[in-house]
């Protein structure tokens, strides 16, 4: 499993950003019970509702805090719950890791009347400067997965698609979170926090950081991306799909 191999520092870096969390929790509406599928360390689980987490990785399960919602080890494609067991199903940035997305979508529809999925539009995501200029291998990996917003929206029966811009001081270390803080990508801990960069082989990662460090030192990065330096938010393609 991907996160059994690379998820060791996830809980430290991938904390819930309160602005993103507010959008996620609003999308859950009046749901009193929530199943969080691909829950990881539980960073976006609401504290004011009954939540059950589903996570296949033991590495991720071990990082859940003592106060986190109860968790079961299972996969999205075979949820161990009866039909209509929950008011809502929540998925935060895990659909692209599912082995059988169609089966996972069907399971979400089976166990919950409302589905809320935070995912990303690869056509927009691949334009992020770190991917486009320094790590095109990330885009190639996403292309191989083949996930699209249209596919996921259709799969869960989404009625709304809400853009989720990333604030310049985002505290959740998703890959584009440091869009205005490029030096952060020189930190091995930051690179290890998300699957896109953590999955790069050592030589590719070294080439990426060497080029980025040189461009930061010379000022070339700041010249190319001067438009970002005063921006408050950035659209990296993150989308909240809501089926209600």
pLDDT of 17: 96
What six digits make up the tokens of 107? Answer: 């399971």
**pLDDT one-digit tens code per residue, 81-140:** 999 999 999 999 999 999 999 999 999 999 999 999 999 999 999 999 999 999 999 999
**pLDDT one-digit tens code per residue, 135-161:** 999 999 999 999 999 999 999 999 999
- Cα–Cα nearest to 236, from 167, 138, 181: 167
Domains and CATH numbers, the chain: 2-243 (3.40.50.150)
Residue 240 has pLDDT above 60, yes or no: yes
Q: Would you place residue 4 in the very low, low, confident or very high pLDDT band (cuts 50, 70, 90)? A: very low
In angstroms, the CA 5 to CA 157 distance is 32
Cα 120 to chain centroid distance, Å, stands at 8
- Residue 131 has a CB neighbour count (10 Å cut-off) of 23
Reported pTM: 0.91
pLDDT of 7: 43
Q: Would you place residue 63 in the very low, low, confident or very high pLDDT band (cuts 50, 70, 90)? A: confident
**pLDDT one-digit tens code per residue, 221-233:** 999 999 999 999 9
In angstroms, the CA 176 to CA 15 distance is 14
8 Å CB contact between 44 and 20? yes
């Amino acid at each position: 499993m991907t996160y059994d191999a690379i998820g060791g520092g996830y809980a430290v870096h991938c904390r819930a950003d309160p602005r993103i969390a507010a959008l996620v929790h609003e999308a859950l509406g009046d749901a009193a019970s929530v199943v969080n599928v691909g829950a990881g360390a539980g960073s976006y689980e609401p504290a004011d509702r009954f939540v059950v987490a589903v996570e296949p990785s033991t590495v991720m399960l071990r990082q859940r805090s003592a106060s986190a919602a109860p968790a079961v080890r299972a996969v999205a494609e075979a949820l161990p719950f009866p039909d209509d067991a929950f008011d809502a199903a929540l998925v935060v940035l895990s659909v692209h890791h599912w082995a059988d997305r169609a089966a996972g979508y069907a399971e979400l529809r089976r166990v919950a009347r409302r589905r809320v999925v935070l995912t990303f539009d690869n056509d927009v995501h691949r334009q992020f400067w770190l991917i486009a200029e320094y790590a095109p291998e990330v885009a190639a990996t996403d292309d191989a997965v083949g996930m699209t917003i249209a596919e996921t929206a259709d799969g869960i029966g989404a009625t709304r698609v809400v853009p989720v811009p990333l604030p310049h001081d985002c505290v959740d270390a998703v890959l584009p979170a440091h869009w205005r803080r490029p030096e952060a990508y020189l930190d091995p801990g930051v690179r290890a926090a998300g699957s896109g960069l953590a999955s790069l082989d050592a030589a590719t990662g070294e080439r990426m950081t060497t080029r980025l460090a040189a461009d930061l030192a010379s000022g070339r990065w700041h010249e190319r991306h001067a438009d970002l330096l005063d921006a408050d938010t950035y659209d990296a393609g993150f989308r909240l799909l809501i089926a209600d």
